[in-house]
């Protein structure tokens, strides 16, 4: 097998893995968005403050839900 053929196969595998991960992230984001309206303000604030580095998608969904409830970004940071 030539070098370029092997390189092409590896690039295809990498591209496929990236596409799969993006699809999974999109699905997780939808799940988080559906889950957040059922949570209390204090639960959402805890998620924003504690999960930002572990789960940025979840923290972002919680932040957006708090904003939709009328909280400003400054209010959310102070919660």
Domain boundaries, the chain: 3-77
Give the per-residue pLDDT at 44.
Answer: 97
- 66, 36 Cβ separation under 8 angstroms: no
Give the per-residue pLDDT at 56.
Answer: 93
Distance CA 14, CA 24 (A): 15
Residue 1 confidence class, pLDDT cut points 50, 70, 90: low
Provide mean pLDDT across the span 26-38: 93
Each residue's pLDDT tens digit, 34-76? 999 999 999 999 999 999 889 999 999 999 999 999 999 999 9
HSE, side-chain direction, 13 A CA sphere, residue 66: 25
Q: What is the pTM of this model?
A: 0.71
Give the per-residue pLDDT at 31.
Answer: 94
């Amino acid at each position: 097998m030539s070098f370029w053929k092997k390189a092409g196969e590896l690039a295809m595998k990498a591209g496929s893995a990236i596409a799969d991960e993006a699809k999974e992230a999109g699905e997780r984001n939808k799940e988080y968005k559906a889950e957040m309206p059922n949570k209390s303000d204090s639960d959402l604030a805890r998620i924003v403050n504690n999960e930002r580095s572990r789960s940025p998608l979840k923290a972002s969904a919680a932040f957006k839900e708090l904003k939709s409830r009328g909280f400003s970004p400054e209010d959310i940071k102070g919660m």
